Amino acid sequence: MHLGSNLLKQDISVSFGGYAKNRALGKVGAFRLSPYGALPLAFLIDIALGVEYGGSPFPSDRQLGSVWDANNITGNQKDMIKQYNGPSGSLLVNPDSAFPYLYLPPRVCAAAAEYLPVYFHNDLGLYVWNETGEAVRVHRIVNSPAYMSFVFSDISAENVTIKIPFKLLYLNVSPQRNGSSADTRYWPCKPWNEEETTLESGFPIPLGRAFLQGAFIGYNYDRKRFYMAQAPGPDVGQQVTVDDDAETLGSHPAHYFADTWRGWWTALDNTTSNDVNGSASPVDVPTDGSTLSGIIAGIVVGVVALIGGAIGGGWWYFRGHRRQEKGQSAAAQSGDEYQALGGKPELDGDGIPIAELHPETTKREPQVLAELHSPSSRDELEVESMVYEMPAGDVSPKPTEQQTSHEKGDQSPQKPRDIE
């Protein structure tokens, strides 16, 4: 599963019996499931702030790096780490979409907040972006390639890093909740307080929906494994679902992360001032190092090819279909191949996702779960096409029945009567 971003119009990806390979980037970490409750044993060992490319939007007098504080971990958490043989100084967490925030030790949130134009709102219990006094800094950080990274130790004791861009950490609180007349933007680092939580002692700390916007997760209960990897940005491309019956999962290259976010970020020049009142200096970051003339030439060639393809397609259509009967079905007349295949690709937005189970095959294939309905056609034989053998005797309806039918004016087709 990859939750995606509602703000950036990135659809959720949920698959059963398989997974969307293009929603997993780089190394896919494998984690054990606990023997009680099948919770993932994911050990968080570090949190840091960073920039994918370009200049830093953070204060120049602060060096970017880790904000982790192992001394802030509670006794109950330390006991769980020992129980499940986790790394010393780590924190047992559970990526869970039932929770909204990034629940972290208070000192970790406070250390990260020192780099950000945020303040703690006591009534909300959240850090709020200071868009009144530091609007320039807020938008510079949110629109830049800056991120908050989470480092986990998997079953093979290797590190798995998940980067959550600050564009995904610029969330909204409605006026009904914040007590004001306008929406409020907040940073979802929620200081974890065991005394205020409804979870029983001994449960992992949840990383909620704010984290799952940028993380891919999966479960294989047969193998007792939990999987986690970096998720892509909004420009993810067409979804391809594959089988997950394997000890390790395949993924797309790690550099796809920057590629899928490039169109949504404004990189900063390395010489940009990062003081409180400074303004951002956006720079263009080419995707492949090509020059402007090459880009223009490519656009011209693409337009010419598109026009030529449209003319050729129109000629073929009218030549091959002008003799078709008018009573042909609408699906055949429109040539809607997407309807037959289950809908347009995910990012087109107008199609219908492929249904998880298709009635025309008995083979179980991994498919994306249909959100509202299945586009597959019914396989039942319609009554109009069935043939019935006529008996030798007279089976015409009785006069009383025929008269009743005429009185009601029922013109609908009658179901065949059972022959005794």
Whole-number pLDDT of residue 246 = 63
Q: Please check whether residues 273 and 375 belong to one and the same domain.
A: no
94-112 confidence digits (pLDDT tens): 999 999 999 999 999 999 9
Non-local (6+) Cβ contacts of 403 within 8 A are none
> Do 279 and 340 reside in the same domain of the chain?
no
pLDDT of residue 6: 85
Does 275 share its domain with 355? Answer: no
- Per-residue model confidence as pLDDT tens digits over 361-420: 444 444 444 444 444 444 444 444 454 555 555 544 444 444 444 444 444 444 444 444
Lowest mean pLDDT, pick from 114-118, 153-157, 279-283, 416-420: 279-283
Q: What is the pLDDT of residue 178?
A: 59
pLDDT tens digits along 219-254: 988 888 999 999 999 998 766 666 656 667 778 788
Domain match, 122 and 185 both: yes
Asked if residue 400 is part of any domain, the answer here is no
Share of the chain above pLDDT 90, in %: 37
Q: Looking at residue 135, which CATH number applies to its domain?
A: 2.40.70.10
Answer yes or no: is 274 within a domain: yes
**Which is more confident, 306 or 265?**
265
Query: Do 165 and 266 have their domain in common?
Result: yes
Q: How many domains in the chain?
A: 2
Whether residue 35 lies inside any domain: the answer is: yes
For residue 214, the model assigns a pLDDT of 96
How much is the pLDDT for 176? Answer: 66
Work out the mean pLDDT of the chain and round it to a whole number.
Answer: 73
pLDDT higher than threshold 90 for residue 326: no
Please check whether residues 238 and 352 belong to one and the same domain: no
pLDDT of residue 284 exceeding 50: no
Q: Are residues 131 and 197 in the same domain?
A: yes
Q: Given this model, what pLDDT does residue 177 score?
A: 66
The pLDDT, as a whole number, for residue 355 is 39
As a whole number, mean pLDDT of residues 160-177 equals 90
Q: Which domain holds residue 369?
A: 336-380
Residue-level pLDDT at 103: 95
Q: Is residue 237 part of a domain?
A: yes
Average confidence (pLDDT) over 61-76: 87
Task: Say if 403 falls within a structural domain.
Answer: no
Say whether both 347 and 231 belong to one domain. Answer: no
Quick one: 349 and 226 in the same domain?
Answer: no
The pTM (predicted TM-score) of the whole model is 0.64
